[in-house]
């Protein structure tokens, strides 16, 4: 042990009967050590309670074993929307067998984008996953061009360089929802759309508009912000202008819970008077009254895939193409 009583690399080597260099290779995850030797070293590490010096290891490997999860949203939204919990579970599931840890970076203070960029440029993390980004974010273009492995949770709006991303086919998912409402015989269909500076909000509105155009039906649109409060305000606006709607497609489940509440307050029965479809198939879809018909997207799977792609990029893979998953309509009581 050293002067502080902390086990040293040399002591691990002596107990395992190998060289100090071999212990260093095992600690740094080198594939060039035989499995039996790895087992000997790991047993010695366990017996001595040796903890690798991460700072020294970083100097050798140029790795920090830290992954930034960048969410340009206020913490009130991040911790209230099940979408983010699902994404983080997926990322965590992939990182669990590795030595990498998550560093969560939420919405920077107004005008403080450069602080985020300085942090990411400063060698504090090995790579970053960018979730729930907005087209208004001035930092997006700069993020995409950083000399740092980065993957986006959806195609970033306004970015003119190829980037790796993971998303669902939001247009097709929205089409499925609206076609389901039409299939029920509903003809006065409105939508509470998501913010139009986000891929999901824009694409889900596009899907609604495409089906309505093909059916020759008029549109009824109110714009929300993917929060319950925003969904409530959009629902009030929509129903004030179109009180005779008999079907509503809502761009996420959190806003759909507010739509159900507003309809109830106005004496409109769901689904007898108005059928409602959400998007996400989050946990709240089964806790509403009535239970919510919704478009399922594989959120945890996407989170896991984001982390897989990032780890591959950190390892040297040149991945820049988008990956797009399909959706599934889950029919419940609200339709």
CA distance 81 to 49: 40
CB 140 within 8 A of CB 79: no
- Class assignment of domain 66-167+299-324? alpha beta
Residue 55: pLDDT over 60 = no
Average pLDDT over residues 253-274: 97
Environment class of 158 (CB within 10 Å of its CB; exposed 0-12, middle 13-18, buried 19+) = middle
pLDDT digits (tens, 9 = 90+) for 207-241: 999 999 999 999 999 999 999 999 999 999 999 99
pLDDT digits (tens, 9 = 90+) for 139-174: 777 787 788 899 999 888 877 778 899 999 999 999
3.40.50.1980, 1.10.260.40, 3.40.630.10, 3.40.50.300: which CATH number matches 9-61?
Answer: 1.10.260.40
CA distances from 123 to 86, 91, 144 (A): 28, 21, 16
CA distance 122 to 125: 8
By DSSP bridging, strand 328-330 and strand 293-296 are antiparallel
Which residue spans of the chain are classified as CATH 3.40.50.2300?
A: 66-167+299-324, 170-297
By DSSP bridging, strand 322-325 and strand 328-330 are unpaired
Residue 59: pLDDT over 50 = no
pLDDT confidence tier of residue 136, bands split at 50, 70 and 90: low
CA distance 63 to 267: 59
Phi, psi of 115 (to 5 degrees): -65, -40
The rounded Cα 46 to chain-centroid distance in angstroms is 36
CB 84 within 8 A of CB 295: no
Question: Mean pLDDT for the chain?
Answer: 88
CB 116 within 8 A of CB 108: yes
CB 284 within 8 A of CB 253: yes
Residue 138: pLDDT over 70 = no
170-297 CATH = 3.40.50.2300
Which residue spans of the chain are classified as CATH 1.10.260.40?
A: 9-61
């Amino acid at each position: 042990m050293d002067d502080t009583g902390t086990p040293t690399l040399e002591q691990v080597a002596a107990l395992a009967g190998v060289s100090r260099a071999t212990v260093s290779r095992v600690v740094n995850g080198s594939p060039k050590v035989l499995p039996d030797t790895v087992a000997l070293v790991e047993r010695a590490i366990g017996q001595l309670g040796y903890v690798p010096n991460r700072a020294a290891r970083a100097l050798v490997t140029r790795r920090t074993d830290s992954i930034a999860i960048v969410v340009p949203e206020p913490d009130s939204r991040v911790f209230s929307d099940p979408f983010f919990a699902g994404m983080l579970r997926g990322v965590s599931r992939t990182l669990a067998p590795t030595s990498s840890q998550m560093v969560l970076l939420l919405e920077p203070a107004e005008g403080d984008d450069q602080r985020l960029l300085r942090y990411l440029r400063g060698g504090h993390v090995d790579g970053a996953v960018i979730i729930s980004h907005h087209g208004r974010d001035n930092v997006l273009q700069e993020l995409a061009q950083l000399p740092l492995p980065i993957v986006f949770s959806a195609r970033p709006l306004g970015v003119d360089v190829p980037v790796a991303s993971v998303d669902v086919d939001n247009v097709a998912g929205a089409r499925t929802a609206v076609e389901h409402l039409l299939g029920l015989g509903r003809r006065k269909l409105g939508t509470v759309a998501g913010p139009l500076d986000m891929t999901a909000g824009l694409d889900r509105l596009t899907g609604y508009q495409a089906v309505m155009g093909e059916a020759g039906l008029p549109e009824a649109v109110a714009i929300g912000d993917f929060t319950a409060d925003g969904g409530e305000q959009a629902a009030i606006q929509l129903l004030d202008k179109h009180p005779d709607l008999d079907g509503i497609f809502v761009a996420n489940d959190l806003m759909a819970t507010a739509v159900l509440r507003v309809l109830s307050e106005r004496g409109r029965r769901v689904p007898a008077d108005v059928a409602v479809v959400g998007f996400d198939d989050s946990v709240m879809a089964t806790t509403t009254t009535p239970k919510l018909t919704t478009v399922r997207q594989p959120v945890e799977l996407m989170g896991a895939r984001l982390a897989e792609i990032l780890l591959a990029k950190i390892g040297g893979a040149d991945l820049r193409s988008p990956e797009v998953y399909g959706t599934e309509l889950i029919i419940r009581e609200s339709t």
